[in-house]
Structure 1
Amino acid sequence: MKITSAIIIALASAAKAHYTFPGFIHDGLTEEDWTYVRKTTNFGRTDHGPVYNVSDPQLRCYELKPGSNGAGIMSVKAGDEVGFRVDGTVTHPGPLQFYMAKAPEGETAETFNGDGDVWFKIFHDDATWRTGEWWPSWSNYGRDNVTVTIPPCLAEGDYLLRVEHIAIHNAAHENGAQFYIGCAQLHVSGEGTKSFPGVSIPGLYSATDPGILFDYQGSATSYVTPGPEVISC
């Protein structure tokens, strides 16, 4: 096949449209990529491609080999604002969500693989429907960093912090939604005492959930963010 300039431009555009979350942000500082964030399977790929299958074990932290992959543990406090640098920008419409999971006794954030009903949601952003428009929008669009507040009531311990952006521009058919994911390794300290029941990843989503199977340019007038409710202190 002859490679034309149009094909090269199209491939380059596709690569730029995908993104990763490699750099952890704390105290306004962005750490070096993958220092506290587990390397994702798309780390070495030029296209930064996402996860499509909601039943794929990689939906959890998008790791080629489960484990820390050399990442360390960042010490934070309950109530701190933390976040992730976006390699690229968030270039697709869809909800941004953050989940956490506490490492069980005998494990650390480096050794914990996130198995079981351990993931609880600490944030999601809601869709906005503007007058005269027939599709939703989200405040995360175009961002080069995304942030969240660690729940101030959280009990001390080691945790995984999972960021997830669900791109829904091709979600009108099953397995069309794109999941962009990253997991940071944290030790959370503070005066909090609360623990929360969780869900399993994968297992929390179905391919036909309304917020995952969704016609972005169809006749919908509302959007239901997939997953559990956000926990409350």
Structure 2
Amino acid sequence: MKVFSTIVAIGACIPSVLAHYRFPSLIVGGTTTGQYQYVRQNTNYNSPVENVASTDFTCNAGGRSGGSTQTYEVAAGSTVGFALDQQVFHPGPYIVYLGQAPSSITNLNSWDGSGANWFKIHQRQITFGSNGPNWEMLNSLTFKLPTRIASGLYLLRVEHIALHSASNYPGAQFYISCAQLKITGGSGGSPAKVSIPGVYSGQEPGIKVNIYYPILTSYAFPGPSVYS
């Protein structure tokens, strides 16, 4: 426990601004695009969102509109992802959703992500050590787009749930970005869809959880199952 206590103490001494991070760049096929070229620009610097009922929870503060964000055309089944502006510091899972824009939307920049249009396509489990969740230092996250989806305009949403202060709600920190995609070559499919906000209540055991005592040894993802 001495080592664990030292880690917690060190973490508490690091300025919060240095422990925060963003997902400003889209990755497609191993190529990292420019910052905020295809990812919607947020307006809260690198601060997290904590209120799961806020409209900021969709695509982060300032992300309800695409502004000057470009839309990347990519084939269904491609490997895509997000690059961070600095390493993730806090322990917690990664979850990725796709939001399909309504058929009436012809310019993705104008869609605010509202409605039951979202489905989960990827989640990365926490790894555990003898003292609980590992504090992984990731610079990027990649995954494959589903093939069994309709072609069209989508928002690709990533969230990292930082659990270092999640024993009460609000407390968990959500680091969120949305990229704009035009997905081609989809073979169709009918994933069950949810609304964001609305997908979480904040009381889920994967959101309201004390990772320090008793030491967390397993993790239950909030939200729906991954669409495959």
Do they superpose with TM above 0.5? yes
TM-score by length of 2: 0.89
1:35-74 equivalent positions in 2, closer than 5 A? 35-42=37-44, 45=45, 48-64=46-62, 66-74=64-72
TM-score, normalised to structure 1's length? 0.87
Match of 2:75 in 1: 77
The yes-or-no answer on 1:229 pairing with 2:225 is yes
Pairwise CA distance, 1:153? 1.6
Cα shift readout 1:159-213 (whole Å, capped 9, x = no counterpart): 0000000000000111110000000000001141113221111111112110111
Residue 23 of structure 1 aligns with which residue? 25
> What is the SS of the residue equivalent to 1:164?
strand
| Corresponding residue for residue 129 of structure 1 | 128
Q: How large is the RMSD of aligned CA atoms in angstroms? A: 1.8
TM-superposed CA distance for 1:63, in Å, is 3.3
Q: Does 1:14 align with 2:16?
A: yes
Secondary structure of the residue aligned to 2:142 is strand
Q: What's the offset of the Cα at 1:134?
A: 4.2
SS in 2 for 1:39: coil
When structure 1 is superposed on structure 2, of 62-71 and 145-154 the one drifting more is: 62-71
Moved over 4 A (4+): none
- The residue type equivalent to 2:50 in the other structure is Y
Q: Tell me if structure 1 keeps the 8 A contact 2:119–2:192.
A: yes
Q: Which runs of 5+ in 1 are unaligned?
A: 1-9
Q: 2:152 aligned with 1:163, yes or no?
A: no
SS in structure 2 opposite 1:15? helix
The aligned counterpart of 1:4 is: none
Rounded to whole Å, the distance in 1 between the matches of 2:171 and 2:91 is 13
Separation (CA, whole Å) in 1 of partners of 2:128 and 2:37: 38
Where does structure 2 lack aligned partners over 5 or more consecutive residues?
1-11
Instruction: Give the match's secondary structure for 1:41.
Output: coil
Whole-angstrom CA distance in 2 between matches of 1:102 and 1:22: 21
Match of 2:16, SS state, is helix
